[in-house]
A and B are shown apart, each in its own frame.
Chain A
Amino acid sequence: MSSSTNDVNVSYLDYKGKHSGLLGWILSVDHKRIGILYLISMMVFFTVGVTFGFLMRLELIAPGRTIVDPQTYNSFFTLHGIIMIFLFIIPGLPAVFGNFFLPIMIGAADVAFPRLNLLSWWLFIIGGLLAIISVFLPGGAPDTGWTFYIPYSVRTTTNVIPALIAAFILGFSSILTGLNFVVTVHRLRAPGMTFFKMPLFIWSLYSTAWIQVLATPIIGITLLLVVAERTLSVGIFDPALGGDPVLFQHLFWIYSHPAVYIMILPAMGVVSEIIPVFSQRTIFGYKFIAFSSLAIAFLGSLVWAHHMFTAGMSGVAMIVFSVLTFLVSIPSAIKVFNWVSTLYKGSILTDPPLLFALGFIFLFSIGGFTGLIQGALSVNLHIHDTSFIVAHFHYVMFGGTGFGIFAAMHYWWPKMFGRMYNKVVAKTGFWVLFVGFNLLYFPMFVMGWLGMPRRYYDYLPEFQIYHMLSTVGSWILITGLLIMFINLFNALKNGKKVTEENIWNGETLEWSTPTPPFLFNFKEAPTVESGPYEYKRNEVSETEVKEEKV
């Protein structure tokens, strides 16, 4: 790398280092280029995941065989789950937008360990490819569901081992990213940026990073033990050898429930950025939103066994986990109330990022409220493992995190690429997506309550109407996705050029970097004096407003 400062004062997109062309990207240790690498790979995996989802819905449009046999269908939902969870939702915000914006938003030039950061991406790609390869190896695509429940995952003859090792490797990618973020937040904040002057997106990434570091090793070792069970028959989980399948369920959910918060917390962070910026005012209850992220990370680590209410746990365990599950809803509710209050007396611009953020609040609230329904013990025994659960987590993970990712894309796209998308098309895409989403997933609540179990290749005739509506919804949803992504990617070539630093009038540090940012982000290292959303220029007007009232 050149020591001349002139050379680094170019956009990270144009910078030429030791390598050029493709190598200049896949060997780059720049956090922004790594963020873009994640973005591209994530979009590819997302497309594959959507395709599996589309095929599942198509199969279910009518009873009986429609397009595939049961074995293929079982592989569809397994791969849909593995790809969407491990390759889209988990890395979606931290690895793409966290990598790109975490250093910038705390005023740093890069993450603490840039090389480790590149290693995370390589592990991600290796894990992702292994998951895809497992589909094509002899033996057949894995058919265990993304939960790999024992004993079935030991009995089936499909390629479970490659899928398990893929998830193991992806886990390491996630741990390294988390570790990097924790250290970066602690060590690399700009002078003057205290913890309580950090943007809320950083708070949410910081909370997430701790879960990644603390919880992911548990799934890693658990998945390896399943591999050991399949190859060496050690008898830890397999009841035929004296093992306990419920132990597997505990270990699996000790990670996989906190993982849900790994997925949702950064999206909450994005919403906390967007709402004050598009209301042009300071955020309501900054500290409550910040601490609720930590509370969610903490309480969320203690509720895993609510996935196992039907497994025959002791009465005490049932009660404790039900109570904790209800408690974890409180910090989420606090966030929602503070977001809505931030709109109060704002000067609101209904640009696409805000639309997606409001969509998040509505859909996530439905996801949250239906979570309460499942937290009640007696109701849970009825709707557990039905399509009610499928609807619930799609509202939280897709309506929540997915819309959070889309909001982040529309918010930061101009900063990342220096190009503006067509806003009218973006809004159209949102509404199509929103309608399709609800038509796709809401009928699943209804049929779940009526007794439609999940992971079913076929169903009783009385459920057909709901399945049909849902499948039609999937077509509308995919249309919305296409409108949105074509608009965004078209902007890269044909979009209006953006050169101004601060197109949305934001007050966080990424809006004081050049557009697109320079290699080391800032022209000169920033010093922070005020909080992230102070909007001091409003303060003069506040007295005016009071006078008007009098």
Chain B
Amino acid sequence: MFNETNYIDSVNNAFTFIVVISAALLIAITIIMLYFVYKYNAKRNKKAVNIEGNMTLEIAWTIIPLFLVAGMFWYGYLGYDALATPPANAYKIKVIGQMWKWNFEYVNGVTTDTLYVPQGKPIQLDITSLDVSHSFYMPHFRFKSDALPNKNNMLWFQSDETGVYDIACAEYCGLNHWNMYTKVHIVPQPVFDEWLSNKKALKDGGTVPVVDSNTVKKDTIAAPADTAKKSDGNKKK
């Protein structure tokens, strides 16, 4: 089953696969090149030998790289394929970029500037923009998608662990492009439900029944923070 961990793993694996092959080839090319420059230096090798080419070698170094890049393509495609089709039961949240902040709109009409999602549930993000192009980027989850004003782009993920991670804007959008950081909080389902209903109550203008929004925020952060993996970073000072 697709979840946070195995999606991150699939991107990391594709990356590692390509890096290892590339590094091996780069080192081989460099060593051979330096060896030739040393061995056939004019000081040691007065007379050069003309070799116009070698068909077997040419075919080999065309075909072998073709297989290597086919493997690289396939690894990259696998991760993308998993990301392209969200499950039908995914919980939908609208993401709206604007200069220079993110807004998150939940099904009950609640709008926030920080993303809260329930743990262990597939989440589908429908991403759009109010003004110029932005790009919704969650580095920890290894993906991003452009936020365009005339279009909905989709990302989905499922995190089986709680945690707090960075959200950034990756498409240059003007003066404060660098300061569109916010956070995603992955919290247990009951905490999420309580947070959402409190937000709803606030929005409807009623008094908040149990706690005010500040304490809710603190609670929800405090609860998962204990179990969370290390955050990807702190919000900008």
Measuring CB to CB, which residues of chain A are less than 8 angstroms from any residue of chain B? 63-64, 70-71, 74, 143-145, 149-152, 155-156, 239-240, 243-246, 279-282, 284-288, 310-312, 315, 318-319, 322-323, 326-327, 329-330, 333-334, 336-338, 340-341, 343-350, 358, 361-362, 365-366, 369-370, 372-373, 375-382, 384-386, 449-451, 453-462, 534-535, 538-539, 541-542, 544-545
B236 an interface residue at 8 Å Cβ cutoff? yes
CB < 8 Å: which of A64, A74, A348 contacts B174? A74
B62 within 8 A of A: yes
Contact across chains for A318 and B174 when beta carbons are under 8 A apart = no
Could you list 30 A-B pairs, sorted by A, with CB under 8 Å?
Answer: A74-B175, A149-B172, A155-B131, A246-B148, A280-B48, A281-B49, A282-B50, A285-B52, A312-B148, A312-B152, A312-B153, A315-B84, A341-B54, A347-B41, A347-B46, A350-B41, A373-B15, A373-B22, A377-B79, A378-B77, A378-B79, A378-B83, A378-B142, A384-B135, A385-B171, A386-B170, A453-B169, A460-B234, A462-B233, A534-B50
B133 touches A151 (CB 8 A): yes
The closest CB in chain A to the CB of B79 belongs to A378
Nearest A residue to B52, CB-CB: A282
Within the assembled complex, what's the spacing in Å between the Cα atoms of A370 and B18?
9
Assess whether B49 is in contact with A345, with CB atoms less than 8 Å apart: yes
Cβ of A379 and Cβ of B11 under 8 Å apart? yes
Q: Is the CB of A285 within 8 A of B53?
A: yes
Chain B nearest CB from A156 CB (Å) reads 7
Residues 1 to 47 of chain B near chain A (Cβ within 8 Å): 10-11, 14-15, 18-19, 22-23, 25-26, 29-30, 32-33, 36-37, 40-42, 45-47
A459 to B178, CA, bound (A): 7
A348 touches B51 (CB 8 A): no
Q: Residues of B within 8 Å of A, CB-based: how many?
A: 85
Within 8 A of A (CB), among B126-148: 131-133, 135, 137, 139-140, 142-146, 148
**B40 near A343: Cβ-Cβ < 8 Å:** yes
Q: Are B45 and A284 in contact (CB under 8 A)?
A: no
User: In the complex, what distance in Å separates the CA atom of A361 from the CA atom of B32?
Assistant: 12
Is the Cβ of A334 less than 8 Å from the Cβ of B47?
no
Contacts A155-B132, A385-B144 supplied; 6 other A-B pairs, CB < 8 Å: A285-B53, A315-B84, A347-B48, A362-B30, A450-B139, A460-B236
B96 at interface by CB-CB < 8 Å: no
Chain A positions within 8 Å of B176 at CB level: 70
Known: A152-B133, A347-B46. A330 touches B168 (CB 8 A): no
Report chain A residues within 8 Å CB of B183. none
The answer on a CB contact under 8 Å between B65 and A333 is yes
Interface presence of B72 (CB below 8 A): yes
A451 to B232, Cβ gap below 8 A? yes
Residues on A with beta carbons closer than 8 Å to the beta carbon of B139: 382, 450-451
- Give A36 Cβ to nearest chain B Cβ, in Å: 32
| Bound-state Cα–Cα, A545 to B58, Å | 24
B45 cross-chain contacts in A, Cβ below 8 A:
345-348
Chain B residues within 8 Å of A542, by CB: 49-50
A356 to chain B, nearest CB (A): 13
Cα A288 to Cα B58 in complex, Å, equals 8
Q: Are A381 and B46 within 8 A (Cβ)?
A: no
CA distance A280 to B150 in the complex (A): 60
Q: Which residue of B lies closest to A279 (CB)?
A: B48
Residues of B within 8 A of A535 (CB): 48, 50
Listed from nearest, the 5 A-B pairs whose CB atoms lie closest are: A378-B79, A376-B76, A451-B139, A369-B22, A377-B80
Verify if B210 is at the interface (C-beta below 8 Å from A).
no
